[in-house]
Amino acid sequence: MAAGETISFRKSLQLGQRYTIETRIIGMDERAVYFEQRMVSDGEIYARGFIATRLVSKNGSVSNEEIIAAFGAPPADLVLPDWIHEWRGNNSLPGSRKPASHAWQ
């Protein structure tokens, strides 16, 4: 499930224009696995997004240990950029068990 995402658009794709979506893992922390995705056409990036994901099961969130057991450990040199931590902190909402008032502040 997507827990947070941000995307920047550089150029518009036209109806029928062929493109590919490139995806790479950029890291993980105690709460999410992070990916970068790019829409590419004719060797140019048209859009780039960053996605924080959480794997869930019927029993709740899947732990990092379970993810690593299923998919293997990420490369040791894979370190999340500092701005990803800032982005998540600045854009996250309270957890589902905490109140989240809808009033504008």
- Residue 11, both tokens: 């150029």
CATH of the domain at 7: 3.10.129.10
Question: With a threshold of 0.85, does the pTM exceed it?
Answer: no
Range of the domain at 21: 2-74
Residue 85 forms part of a structural domain:
no
* Cα distance between residue 8 and residue 24, in whole Å: 17
pLDDT under 50: residue ranges of the chain: none
Each residue's pLDDT tens digit, 59-86: 888 888 888 888 888 888 888 999 999 9
pLDDT in the model for residue 40:
98
Residue 95 forms part of a structural domain:
no
